[in-house]
Amino acid sequence: MGPMKRLLRSEAVQRLSCWLVHLYIRFVHRTGRWTVEGAETPRRLHAEGKPFILAFWHGRLLMIPMAWQNLAPMHMLISGHRDGRLIADAVRYFGIDSIAGSSTAGGGAALRAMVRHVKAGDCVGITPDGPNGPAMRASAGIVAAARLARAPVIPITYATRHRRILRTWDRFHLPFPWTRGIFLWGEPIAVPAELDAEDSERWRRLIEERMIAQTAEADRRVGCEATAPGTLGRDDLRALRRAATGGSR
């Protein structure tokens, strides 16, 4: 590893990057004109002492802390990838703790930790298409989490008029300052506790379809074309790009 790569991966640079990311989130929110719809649902559930699972696409993760605004104790499931660790450290500035792992971990430690936090009365945030994609394609992990925790899933998304959709596997939505934006909260999705494999797949599709439609609606509300779901995961996209450049990347 060269000296530049070692510098970029050093702890000091990582801490600075997290601090800058959190400042950018605050700056975009403060300079923008934001509309929030549907927030009465999570507020009502919190007032009734009913925790829930917050679901948002990996590519729409950046501004979620500003929609949350310390509504309740929150634990966000974030992958162990380098970009995941960067996000985990950044969201701590907003009082959001992280759970290392993935919604595809099945019955692993991350899933058990999520269920434990929900049963203790806290909320958990999940990116159902993370950490490897394809973008906007939900894994079965979110159904397992909701079923075991006996907690409803509430989808949330955001969109901004001025933005850039990056050419990453998750089609990351990068909002620009001084923009018009919207946060959309969806209706709770109550997954039954007892499901067979066919039923689990039906609920997975329902959650995915609701989230895709909600994201498209948010894009429409700010006057942008809807972002389409992806067809390639993280590793497949990297392999395709390496092949396109003759293996130089």
pLDDT tens profile 41-55? 999 999 999 999 999
- Confirm whether 127 is domain-assigned: yes
Q: How far apart are CA 83 and CA 238, in angstroms?
A: 15
Those residues whose C-beta lies under 8 Å from the C-beta of residue 103, and which sit 6 or more positions away, are 77, 110, 111, 126, 127, 128, 130, 139, 141, 142, 145
Say if residue 39's pLDDT is above 70.
Answer: yes
- Domain around 224: 3-244
**Domain membership flag for residue 109:** yes
In a domain, 146, yes or no: yes
pLDDT score of 107 more than 60? no
Output the six-digit token pair for 242.
């390496």
18-27, 75-84, 169-178, 229-238, range with the lowest pLDDT: 75-84
pTM of the model: 0.89
CB 167 within 8 A of CB 128: no
How are beta strands 33-37 and 180-185 bridged, if at all? parallel
* 134-158 pLDDT, tens digit each: 999 999 999 999 999 999 999 999 9
Confirm whether 249 is domain-assigned. Answer: no
List the single range of 69-73, 78-82, 117-121 with lowest mean pLDDT.
78-82
Domain count, the chain: 1
- Model confidence over 190-202: pLDDT tens digits? 999 899 999 999 9
Extract the tokens encoding 103: 């919604």
Three-state SS sequence of the chain: CCHHHHHHCCHHHHHHHHHHHHHHHHHHHHHCEEEEECCHHHHHHHHCCCCCEEECCHHHCCCHHHHHCCCCCEEEEECCCHHHHHHHHHHHHHCCEEEECCCCCCCCHHHHHHHHHHHCCCEEEECCCCCCCCCCCCCCHHHHHHHHHCCCEEEEEEEECCEEECCCCCCCEEECCCCEEEEEECCCECCCCCCCHHHHHHHHHHHHHHHHHHHHHHHHHCCCCCCCCCCCCHHHHHHHHHHHCCCCC
Say if 239 falls within a structural domain.
yes
Domain membership flag for residue 73: yes
